[in-house]
Amino acid sequence: EPRAMRVTQLGDTRKNVLWGLLGSSSRLDRWETLMEDSGRSSASRFGKTLRGDEQARLDAITPRVALKCDGIVHSVHTSADKKMLATGDSSGNVSLWRTRDASLIRTISCSGPVYRVDLSFDKSQVLSCCDSGDAKVWDTCTGEELINLECGAPVSCGAISKDKALVVTGDIRGSARVWDTLTGEVLLAVSCGARIRSIDLSGDARVFVTGDNNRCATVWDSATGQAVRTITCTHEVYSVRLSDDQRLLATGDAMCKAKIWDVTTGKLKQTMDCGGWVYSVYFSGDGTMLATGDQGKTVRLWNVATGQLLYKLDCESDAYSVDLSADKSVLCVGDGAGNVCLWETATGTAKVTMECGPSDVFFIDMTESIIATAGPGKYVKLFDTEKGRLLHTCETKGLAFACDLGVAPLLASGDSSGVATLWNTDTGAVERVITVLDKGGPVFSVKLSSNNKLLVTGDVKGNACVWDVLSGMLLHKMGDGVTVRSVDLTDDEQMLVTGTRDGRTVLWDIPTGRVVRTMQCGGQVYSVDMSGDGKLVATGDQHKMATIWEVETGRVVQ
């Protein structure tokens, strides 16, 4: 029996199919790559190297998708269904991507470099762990901040449970915490005595594991905080990962080693040599394959049972984060050059490169002469309505969520940094910055009064605030703690309407702060608009319903 076999078979004019028999595994693997533009086969990229121990490796696989981020990509995570990818980078961005076509879904701006991201099992939420000391859970559909967990020190790692009820975090001061995501309460805190480099949570959330600078990988009971197993390594532990069945633990360390341990006994089962400090380790869903990313600009795929090197992939820079799909078909890599690559572990396809940047226009407003857009990214843009010519680009402090054109030349905007900004539409210059949320967070809606004297804001903390435009002073504050997605004001400035995350449209009496009427919609209310006389209010909600309500009775008109 041949120890390795490679056959190139050309099918149609565009595809080159490569079949390979790896060692004595009796498994025939198939790789496929597109032809070069010239028609020359790119199969030469697929080099096979054999060693005496019948170890075969694939020296080069073409990435299926390559994405370009703004800074070092510290963390990547693919959703369970492989349809979404989350990245966290040194520029403070959490980016969500469609893996199908490499399109950017949205970018979430955080308050500092993002060291770790983790998608919930149903991909409805994403966790970000930041240098600012905050771990935040975000709604992936809207980019809305759901909860902020203040850790008090830079958060180096974290994970969200399958049911989204718990989050575990680890920080540079050596504290690991278990949080209730509904209340933000700390349920459990343990100390590792040194900087925690990595953390992982089991599928049932009963145990979590930490890797630290004390050369320890520790398995903890999530309910009691008891150390179930402590494994002492020879060097700092940069990465830890539990297999899905919790029987195996993988560690990556500063000695360029990836190791696999038996959790029950603490016995070392495999040691694998990598090309540098091992920043990331990741098991496949069935626990048969391990991916490692290291300082040597390489990603390696290993056979867990034998410790054999299966494939080696070269990166442009240090491979800081790897993620392997449950079925082992897709490998995701984030590196120090800002690249995010998706690789097919069995096939190679043409590489696509994209610049990382927000793509959503969240809001638009228009007068007879000007169109204003909030987004894409950290920009509010002003266009000439007659010719569509770009007049000004106004750079906001965070991701721009809202804008409102008042009486010329005033424009208001709200962004993810927690501020509302007033702009001069003639010059594009900042007139005033109003801090809505001291600790930051999305300001989802802004509205100027008809005479430009008042500004109303709606924010993620559930506040609807009325501000004096001239002084920037807070005049009135209303709300019940539920995120306000949209606000509007009557012409007489006596009544305010809010649309909330829980599907309510609420009418407020501004002088007293009293709730006048509440109307229940079918889902999150993304937009509200009041008639000038205050008799009707229109709403647009999550379930694609536009509704007109009578204010006096709360009755649906249309």
Cα of first residue to Cα of last residue in the chain, in angstroms, is 76
Q: Does residue 485 sit in the same domain as residue 523?
A: yes
Residue 457 has pLDDT above 80, yes or no: yes
pLDDT, average across residues 306-313: 88
409-446 tens-digit pLDDT: 999 999 988 999 999 999 999 999 999 998 888 899 99
Question: What global pTM score does this model have?
Answer: 0.55
Q: Does residue 279 sit in the same domain as residue 193?
A: yes
pLDDT, average across residues 97-115: 86
486-501 tens-digit pLDDT: 999 988 899 999 999 8
Position 478 in a domain: yes
pLDDT, average across residues 7-17: 32
Q: Does residue 108 sit in the same domain as residue 240?
A: yes
The residue ranking higher by pLDDT, 62 or 551, is 551
Q: Does residue 70 sit in the same domain as residue 42?
A: no
Alpha-carbon gap, residue 195 to 211, rounded angstroms: 9
Position 161 in a domain: yes
Residue 13 has pLDDT above 60, yes or no: no
The residue ranking higher by pLDDT, 342 or 181, is 181
- Residues 222-230: contacts with CB within 8 Å, 24+ apart? 222/166, 222/168, 222/178, 222/188, 223/188, 224/188, 225/188, 225/189, 225/190, 227/190, 229/263, 229/264, 229/266, 230/266
Q: Does residue 239 sit in the same domain as residue 133?
A: yes
Of the residues 322, 355, 388, the one at which a domain ends: 355
pLDDT, average across residues 176-185: 92
Residue 18 has pLDDT above 50, yes or no: no
Of the residues 355, 383, 416, the one at which a domain ends: 355
Q: Does residue 95 sit in the same domain as residue 221?
A: yes
Position 56 in a domain: no
Identify the domain containing residue 34 by its residue range: 4-50
Position 225 in a domain: yes
Burial 448-475 (b: 16+ CB within 10 A, else e): bbeebebbbbbbbbbbbbbbebeeeeee
DSSP-H helix ranges across 10-87: none
C-alpha R_g of the chain: 27
What's residue 63's pLDDT?
53
Position 555 in a domain: no
Work out the mean pLDDT of the chain and round it to a whole number: 81
In which band, very low, low, confident or very high, does the pLDDT at 478 lie, cut at 50, 70 and 90?
very high
Total structural domains in the chain?
3
What's residue 298's pLDDT?
86
pLDDT, average across residues 281-295: 90
Q: Does residue 143 sit in the same domain as residue 286?
A: yes
Residue 2 has pLDDT above 70, yes or no: no
Position 19 in a domain: yes
Range among 21-35, 351-365, 386-400 rated most confident: 386-400
Q: Does residue 450 sit in the same domain as residue 521?
A: yes
In which band, very low, low, confident or very high, does the pLDDT at 103 lie, cut at 50, 70 and 90?
confident
What's residue 65's pLDDT?
55
State both tokens at 553. 């009775």
Residue type, 227: A
The Cα-based distances of 461 to 290, 308, 333, 439, 477 in angstroms read: 42, 52, 35, 11, 12
pLDDT, average across residues 532-545: 83
Of the residues 355, 375, 410, the one at which a domain ends: 355
State the CB neighbour count (10 A cutoff) for residue 21. 18
Alpha-carbon gap, residue 472 to 481, rounded angstroms: 23
Residue 109 has pLDDT above 50, yes or no: yes
State both tokens at 476. 């009135």
Q: Does residue 160 sit in the same domain as residue 294?
A: yes
The residue ranking higher by pLDDT, 44 or 83, is 83
Cα torsion 100, 103, 108, 113: sign:
positive
What's residue 440's pLDDT?
84
Here the CATH number for the domain that contains residue 102 is: 2.130.10.10
Alpha-carbon gap, residue 344 to 290, rounded angstroms: 15
Q: Does residue 457 sit in the same domain as residue 347?
A: no
Position 501 in a domain: yes
Alpha-carbon gap, residue 128 to 64, rounded angstroms: 26
Position 556 in a domain: no
Residue 161 has pLDDT above 90, yes or no: yes
Residue type, 214: N
The Cα-based distances of 104 to 211, 286, 436 in angstroms read: 32, 30, 29
Q: Does residue 509 sit in the same domain as residue 531?
A: yes
pLDDT, average across residues 54-67: 46
Q: Does residue 117 sit in the same domain as residue 140?
A: yes
